[in-house]
Amino acid sequence: MPTTTAAAMGAAQRRVAGPSLARRLEANPFTWLVPVAVMLGVFYLYPILDVFRLGMTNASLVGSDERYTIVTLQAMFENPALLDILKTTAVFTIASVVGQQVFGLAIALLVVRGERRKLKGMVALRTVVLVAWVIPGIANGLIWQMLFSEAPFGAINSVLRMMHVSPVAWLSDPNIAMLSAVISNVWRGTAFSMIVFYAALKAIDPTLYEAASVDGAGHLQKLRFITLPQLRAAILVNSILVTIQTLNTFDAIISLTGGGPGRATEVLSLFTFNTVFRNYDLAGGSVLSVLMLVISLVLALFYASFMPRREVSE
Amino acid sequence: MMRLRLVTALLASAAAFVAVSAHADNLVTKDRVGPADAPKSFTLRLTNDGPTSTDPVWAEGYQKLFSEFIQRHPGWRIDLERMSDNIGQEQARMLEQAKSGNGPDCAAVDSFVLALFKGANVLKPLDEYFTKEEVADLFPFIREGITGPDGKIYAWWWNTDLRVLYRNKEIVPDAPKDWAELKAAALASKEKGGEGVLFNGGRWEGTTFDWLANFWAQGGKLVDDKGKPIFAEGENREKFLKAVNYFKDLVDSGAAPKRVATIVNYDEFNAAAAAGTAALFIGGNWQYGQLKNTLEPEEFPKWTFSEIPGPTADQRSTGTGGWTFGAFSNDPEKVAMCAAVVKEIYAGPGNALQQQLPTAAALYGKYDVFKTEANETFAKALVNGQARPGVPIYPEISNQIQIMMGDVLSGTKTPEAALDAANTAVQAAFARL
């Protein structure tokens, strides 16, 4: 066989065999995703799957003979308190999401407007609002508990008395206690919404407002026909994040009202916490955790369905 | 030459002193007692009652006690772990860790959940480390609490507490003896600018525990001998409703402010006493010392305490709690060290340091701090002491009583409807145990 023919055959074989395994693994994007997938799987997916598994057992922190059963599932959904707790959760979540968005947008508009006019103190204003966001939930609850205290020396009621206004049963009246819980949660969460809206407002093309001014549009018309439509994606993303965050909030409530009086402010996350850490019912708490996951997913998908789609030309 | 020798001796003494001091200081650190390179060690999980206490006097006292202890036990090191103030969550976590074999070797176990730890079979018997005389000297409810169904002791209950009625003698000169007298005294105190009587009524364990005295004083039982909830059946139901209606009447009549439904901390009573707005409150025996530290020197002598009034003058009860130590280790040497920590540091010296009531009668005569009039009165009141039932369903019973109290005091539900709702929830939980 001539040398040239042998060389040609060798080259052909290498082409058939392709690059080495290391080269092929290196070229495959999944190789680079494996570490992340393993991390997510171990630290996120496995706990979720374990919660699903525990929900199908009678696991308890007290008992020892763990077995698979649907009795826990049945017991949790037949619990007469669950419906009231879901209603309380809905009221708390809706009021908090709306409140945080409205106040967040208002403060963001104020800051952006102030910056356009080159007013001093805008950075300080942003910082002051952000301070509330970095306060831990438990501390937030304790701060508001002192403010809402109905003792003769309670902060807000003392001011009301000085103004000759009757003191308010901020925490002992079941209806007002929910309002108090919402106020404390909105106070803490508004900063997050403000950041999201502030970033989105900065991204709006100023020529839109210039054109609107030329057309004689007023402030409210600019807000309605330019700002809000341009903020649509930010509002929806913010809604998803704030809703999930609020659904998971229990630290601020546990330190503010403990869920009381009665069950007036006991939201689903607090009910779940109490089920596991006070009643030692691991299986029951797992069922409730799965319920929280499902509610969060459904709401996220609902919001996502309103997200603006990208144009084909893009 | 003489001077040189003297200087050398002084320098050597100073160096030795510094070395010894440094050695003593190093014996107790934030997370360790004893030399870091000790051949043997065990983990000890504590609450605020230890060398890392937030109370500087307690911290200093325990550092000394632990330092002396470890010098009596050469070759050992204690690895300290500290629980947060969220005791319920900490104890639940520790139970789960102990069940899976990852618990500490020795730990503080709240007497309130001791039955759960005993039921989970995670505690090691401590009989061989305590004499029969020492066990016999414990108060009956303490002995019963630490004893398992096999007659062995599974923990050592080293301190206890009880609830009493505090009053400002200037405003309420005589101790109310029954419910009617307390209501009258509270209403009279309001006329002098006070809030009336204060008690725990929010969503926390203190609400259940403090109120149960009124149920127990009538002879009410939460569970039967087998641990089944019976508080809503027969005579117990009547007694339960009578005790709930008593609290409701205090609020409805104005003898207690509506805000009691929000009180979830004994510190609120101290604050009200300091602000001069409260003349009566139901609190713990440990608050006597706190009041002494909180109130102005001329204000403290105005305060005193008496037993919690019952429905009649001769029907009295009070809730008793406290802390125990239990061993989880499979190593007998570590279990022995755990028992030694309790005997040498906590049962006696620890009680005296923190002025927390001992659980054995002999200790009251041993330490001067317990010979004060106040502590002798507390000790006598322990005769009517009642511990919470050591059954797995108790946490749910307590949870439902807290919810019921909030619903009743805020007027959301009638006592009957609230009791029925509580009983339904408790029975459903009991069926799943």
Q: All domains of chain B, ordered by start, with CATH? A: 33-160+321-385 (3.40.190.10), 163-318+390-432 (3.40.190.10)
Token pair recorded at residue A30: 């999944």
CATH number assigned to the domain comprising residue A231: 1.10.3720.10
pLDDT of residue A306: 82
Residue of A nearest to B396 (CA): A279
Chain A partners of B120 at a C-beta cutoff of 8 Å? 62, 64
To the nearest whole Å, the CA of A256 is away from the closest chain B CA by: 9
Q: Which of B244, B259, B265, B408 to mutate to test the interface with A (most CBs of A within 10 A)?
A: B259
Rounded mean pLDDT of chain A? 88
Interface of A with B in 231-270 (CB under 8 A): 257-264
pLDDT of residue B167: 97
- A25 in a domain, yes or no? no
Q: Which of A62, A146, A170, A265 to mutate to test the interface with B (most CBs of B within 10 A)?
A: A62
- A244 in a domain, yes or no? yes
Strands B76-82 and B303-306 turn out to be unpaired
- Which residues in chain B come in under a pLDDT of 70? 1-25
To the nearest whole Å, the CA of B119 is away from the closest chain A CA by: 7
To the nearest whole Å, the CA of B205 is away from the closest chain A CA by: 10
pLDDT of residue B327: 97
First to last CA, chain B: 84
Q: Are A71 and A294 in contact (CB under 8 A)?
A: no
- What range defines the domain where residue A240 resides? 98-304
Token pair recorded at residue A16: 């058939």
Q: Is A226 exposed, middle or buried (0-12, 13-18, 19+ CB in 10 A)?
A: middle
Say whether residue B4 is in contact with chain A using an 8 A CB cutoff: no
Q: Which of B116, B208, B262 to mutate to test the interface with A (most CBs of A within 10 A)?
A: B262
pLDDT of residue B336: 97
Contacts with A237 (C-beta within 8 Å, 6 or more apart), sequence order: A196, A307
To the nearest whole Å, the CA of B95 is away from the closest chain A CA by: 7
User: Across the A/B interface, how many CB contacts are shorter than 8 Å?
Assistant: 121
To the nearest whole Å, the CA of A75 is away from the closest chain B CA by: 8
More confident residue, B157 or A304: B157
pLDDT of residue B12: 53
B121 contacts A64? CB cut-off 8 A: yes
How many DSSP H helices and E strands does chain A contain? 17, 0
Residues A287, A294: Cα–Cα separation, whole Å = 11
Token pair recorded at residue B368: 């001067």
Residues B90, B82: Cα–Cα separation, whole Å = 10
Interface of B with A in 276-305 (CB under 8 A): 277
Residue with tokens 């204000």: B299
Mean local confidence (pLDDT), A55-75: 87
- A314 in a domain, yes or no? no
Say whether residue B229 is in contact with chain A using an 8 A CB cutoff: no
- A293 in a domain, yes or no? yes
Question: What's the angle, vertex CA B344, arms to CA B341 and CA B349, rounded to 5?
Answer: 115
DSSP structure class, residue A311: P
A173 contacts B259? CB cut-off 8 A: no
Contacts with B164 (C-beta within 8 Å, 6 or more apart), sequence order: B282, B283, B284, B285, B305, B306, B307, B308, B318, B378, B381
- A197 in a domain, yes or no? yes
- A146 in a domain, yes or no? yes
Say whether residue A114 is in contact with chain B using an 8 A CB cutoff: no
B277 contacts A152? CB cut-off 8 A: yes
Residues A168, A254: Cα–Cα separation, whole Å = 21
Q: Which of B85, B96, B203 to mutate to test the interface with A (most CBs of A within 10 A)?
A: B203
Per the structure, the count of domains in chain A is: 1
Residues B234, B307: Cα–Cα separation, whole Å = 28
- A245 in a domain, yes or no? yes
To the nearest whole Å, the CA of A83 is away from the closest chain B CA by: 14
> How would DSSP label each residue in B183-230?
HHHHHHHHHTT---EE---SSSHHHHHHHHHHHHTTT--SB-TTS-B-
* Partner residue opposite A261 with nearest CB, options B88, B257, B410: B410
Say whether residue B424 is in contact with chain A using an 8 A CB cutoff: yes
Q: Is the pLDDT of residue A64 over 80?
A: no
Looking from the CA of B352 toward its CB, the CA atoms found within 13 Å total 15
A278 contacts B203? CB cut-off 8 A: no
Looking from the CA of B361 toward its CB, the CA atoms found within 13 Å total 12
Chain B partners of A173 at a C-beta cutoff of 8 Å? 258, 410
* Partner residue opposite B202 with nearest CB, options A79, A153, A260: A260
- A247 in a domain, yes or no? yes
Contacts with A200 (C-beta within 8 Å, 6 or more apart), sequence order: A230, A231, A233, A234
Q: Are B344 and B331 in contact (CB under 8 A)?
A: no
pLDDT of residue B1: 46
Looking from the CA of A64 toward its CB, the CA atoms found within 13 Å total 11
pLDDT of residue B21: 45
Please report which confidence band the pLDDT of residue A14 belongs to, taking 50, 70 and 90 as the band edges: low
Say whether residue B194 is in contact with chain A using an 8 A CB cutoff: no
